[in-house]
Structures are given as structure tokens and as C-alpha cells.
């Protein structure tokens, strides 16, 4: 009887100790502590920044290739976390895209430094830590960011064992729509590399940025800011998170942003007053109507034009099809936005 009472008391102490540690863990990670009623109803946190994504079973030839592709990028993929005092605010993935003898430059999402509850504002004096591919931590410093494209550039100390990803222009032609793509991420706490495969879609993203393209790769929030590569290992774009698909900013737009950062310190984005989309992303009725007038048509479809905008003053109307721009044949909306 005496032993049972002692055991019961010991178990109660461990439970309280566990609750205390859990509260501290939630607070330091920036998560809300679930209430007693929420826990009693079986509610729990979802879409955390520790949630992995990895749909590779290790047996098929396709998955073996995906693992090899992800491994080839591993020395260029890091994870980052931002802290306000000792409380973590955000974690995401980043890509080393420039490696100098004295510093490394990392591409990631501007969500790393956005204010919680007000994404239009950015937090000053956040501490940024970079989890390197070998698991070691380094101090990061925010260099530039752009809220429209949701990109940020972070710099950190150079390490010889890592290298910058080879980022160059990629043509978004019909061949790219037929090849496998691989979305890559890295967990901040564990440092583990993650990968998910998918295909490019003729689809506009639901996120508020018409330059975004969409792939069928499924990632978690831990993969935000990570690289998307093709079957040849070419860098295709930077990933964002959506529940059932992966929106990404194509490399052509990223390269344009880099150039603007270096020349003027900010991204200059002219407002043309139109929204365009790939022809293949339109409804079948629209495609049929265009095909009747132009049987061999190709190009991009003008979905909307604002009254009085530069596009409207140039004579562009909703429902128009733009096949070339400055002599360049067009196949997707991002080509237009890049040229302009």
C-alpha cells in the first residue's frame, strides 16, 4: 500500500513537470499553448515548422532519382530561424546562391522577418540564426527584402565546405512541363533534408502574386523558401506553402530581383494594370473560342485590364491573346512579367 502511494505521487510529479516543460517549449517556439478544453477535445497543433515532408518510399526508380537530386543540392540548402529576444518567430528553408571568400549569400522567404498578425510590416532587430548543412549554427544578417515578391536575402559567414547553387535562367517551355520537379527543404531543429517530387501545372496560384507558378509537389511550412529543381538539377524557383500544391517564384523573376537589389537597393515593379495567364490555364470554353479564331494560336491570355491603366491606354483588352513581345514568343505569363 505504501509503495502504491509513493508511485502515484511520483507519476503526478512527472506529469506536472512534463506540462511545465511543454509550456516552455511552446513559448520558445512561438506557438500558443492549447487550453485544457482544446486538449480534452483532442485538438493539437498542425502545420508546425517541425513537420516534415518526404513522400519517398526508397524503392522505386523515380524516388531513388529524387533522392540523388536532393542530395546533389544538400550543400547549398540551409534552414533559418528568426528570434525576438529568446522567442522564435519563424523558421524556413534557404538556398546559398553566392559563396564569397568572406561571406555567403542566402535566398529565402521574407516571412522570416514579417510581423506576426500584420504581414505588411517587418520587424527590426530580429536575431537570425542559420542552420548549416552540417548541423552547426551561424549568425545571419538581413541584407535586402521585398514584400511584394516575399523574398529576403540573408548574409552569413563563409564556410569553405559549402557552395552556392548554380542559379541561371531556365526556359519554361513544353519540355519543363513534362519533367519531374523536386522541392527541397531542411528542418531547423533536426537539420534533416527533405524532398518531394511533382510536376509543373498550367495554373495560376491562389496567392496574391501573378508571377507565381504552381507545381504539384507537396511540402510543409518547413519548406518555405526552399529550392525547386528540375530533373537535371537546375534551379527552377523558390517555394512557398499552400495546402495541396506548391506555389513558387520562378528563377527568371528572382534573377531580376537580384539585379534590382544590386543596382538600386530595392525591387522596382511597374504597375501595368493587367492580369495575364497561360492559355493552357484557361477554361475549355475560352480555349475553344480562341481556337475558332486562331486555330494555331499560342501565347498568353489577357484575363483583365484596369480602366485608364498603361495597358488599357496601349489598346490591350481583356480576352486578347499576346503571342510575342519584342519578338520573343510567349508561352507563360511569367515571361511577359520578366521582360517588362
pLDDT in tens, 47-87: 466 788 776 666 778 888 888 999 999 999 999 999 988 88
Residues 6+ away with beta carbon under 8 Å from 18: none
Q: What is the pLDDT of residue 36?
A: 53
Least confident piece of the model among 33-42, 95-104, 192-201, 308-317: 33-42
Q: What is the pLDDT of residue 49?
A: 64
Q: What is the Cα–Cα distance from 113 to 118, expressed in whole angstroms?
A: 11
Using 50, 70 and 90 to split pLDDT, how confident is the model at 109?
very high
DSSP 254-299: HHHHHHHHHHHSS-------EEEEEGGGS-HHHHHHHHHH-TT--S
pLDDT at 138 over 90: yes
Least confident piece of the model among 36-40, 112-116, 185-189, 202-206: 36-40
- Radius of gyration, alpha carbons of the chain: 23
Q: Which residue has the higher pLDDT, 241 or 39?
A: 241
Q: What is the mean pLDDT of residues 255-267?
A: 91
In terms of Cα–Cα distance, which of 172, 161, 148 is closest to 235? Answer: 172
Q: What is the mean pLDDT of residues 96-123?
A: 83
Q: What is the Cα–Cα distance from 60 to 184, expressed in whole angstroms?
A: 19
In terms of Cα–Cα distance, which of 212, 276, 279 is closest to 250? Answer: 212
* Fold of the CATH domain 274-339: Pdz3 Domain (2.30.42)
62 three-class SS: helix
Contact 191, 99 (CB under 8 A): no
Mean residue pLDDT across the chain:
81
Q: Which residue has the higher pLDDT, 150 or 6?
A: 150
Q: Name residue 104's beta-bridge partners.
A: 99, 156
Q: What is the pLDDT of residue 192?
A: 92
Q: Which CATH architecture has domain 176-264?
A: Beta Barrel (2.40)
Q: What is the mean pLDDT of residues 293-303?
A: 82
pLDDT at 126 over 70: yes
CA atoms within 13 A on the CB side of 11: 6
Q: Which residue has the higher pLDDT, 249 or 171?
A: 249
Least confident piece of the model among 24-33, 94-103, 285-294, 308-317: 24-33
In terms of Cα–Cα distance, which of 169, 97, 81, 95 is closest to 130? Answer: 81
Dig out the grid coordinates for 124 from the structure. Answer: 527590426
Q: What is the mean pLDDT of residues 176-187?
A: 89
Q: What is the Cα–Cα distance from 320 to 87, expressed in whole angstroms?
A: 51
* Fold of the CATH domain 75-157: Thrombin, subunit H (2.40.10)
Q: What is the Cα–Cα distance from 75 to 81, expressed in whole angstroms?
A: 18
Q: Name residue 238's beta-bridge partners.
A: 227, 249
Q: What is the pLDDT of residue 14?
A: 53
Q: Encode pLDDT of 215-242 as tens digits.
A: 999 999 999 999 999 998 999 999 999 8
Enter the DSSP assignment of 234.
-
Tell me the helix, strand and coil percentages in the chain, rounded to 5. 30, 30, 40
Q: What is the mean pLDDT of residues 158-166?
A: 90
Amino acid at each position: 500500500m505504501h509503495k502504491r502511494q509513493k508511485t502515484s505521487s511520483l507519476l503526478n510529479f512527472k506529469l506536472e513537470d512534463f506540462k511545465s516543460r511543454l509550456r516552455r517549449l511552446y513559448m520558445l517556439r512561438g506557438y500558443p499553448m492549447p487550453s485544457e478544453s482544446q486538449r480534452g477535445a483532442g485538438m493539437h497543433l498542425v502545420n508546425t515548422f517541425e513537420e516534415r515532408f518526404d513522400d519517398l518510399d526508397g524503392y522505386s526508380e523515380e524516388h531513388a532519382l529524387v533522392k540523388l537530386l536532393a542530395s546533389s543540392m544538400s550543400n547549398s540548402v540551409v534552414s533559418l530561424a528568426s528570434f525576438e529576444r529568446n522567442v522564435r518567430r519563424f523558421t524556413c528553408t534557404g538556398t546559398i546562391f553566392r559563396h564569397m571568400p568572406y561571406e555567403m549569400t542566402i535566398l529565402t522567404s521574407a516571412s522570416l522577418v514579417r510581423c506576426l498578425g500584420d504581414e505588411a510590416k517587418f520587424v527590426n532587430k530580429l536575431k537570425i540564426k542559420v542552420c548549416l548543412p552540417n548541423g552547426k549554427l551561424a549568425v545571419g544578417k538581413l541584407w535586402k527584402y521585398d514584400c511584394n515578391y516575399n523574398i529576403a536575402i540573408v548574409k552569413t559567414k563563409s564556410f569553405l565546405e559549402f557552395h552556392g547553387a548554380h542559379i541561371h535562367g531556365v526556359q519554361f517551355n513544353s519540355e519543363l512541363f513534362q519533367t519531374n520537379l523536386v522541392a527541397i527543404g531542411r528542418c531547423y531543429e533536426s537539420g534533416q533534408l527533405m524532398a518531394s517530387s511533382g510536376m509543373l501545372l498550367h495554373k495560376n496560384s491562389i496567392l496574391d502574386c501573378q508571377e507565381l507558378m504552381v507545381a504539384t509537389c507537396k511540402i510543409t511550412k518547413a519548406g518555405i523558401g526552399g529550392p525547386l529543381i528540375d530533373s537535371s538539377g537546375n534551379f527552377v524557383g523558390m517555394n512557398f506553402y499552400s495546402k495541396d500544391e506548391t506555389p513558387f517564384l520562378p528563377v527568371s523573376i528572382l534573377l531580376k530581383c537580384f539585379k534590382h537589389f544590386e543596382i538600386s537597393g530595392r525591387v522596382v515593379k511597374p504597375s501595368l494594370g493587367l492580369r495575364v495567364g497561360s492559355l493552357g490555364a484557361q477554361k475549355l470554353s475560352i480555349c475553344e473560342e480562341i481556337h475558332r479564331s486562331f486555330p494555331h494560336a499560342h501565347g498568353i491570355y489577357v484575363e483583365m485590364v484596369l480602366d485608364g491603366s498603361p495597358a488599357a491606354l496601349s489598346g490591350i483588352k481583356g480576352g486578347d491573346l499576346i503571342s510575342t513581345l519584342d519578338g520573343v514568343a510567349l508561352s507563360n505569363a511569367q515571361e511577359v512579367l520578366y521582360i517588362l
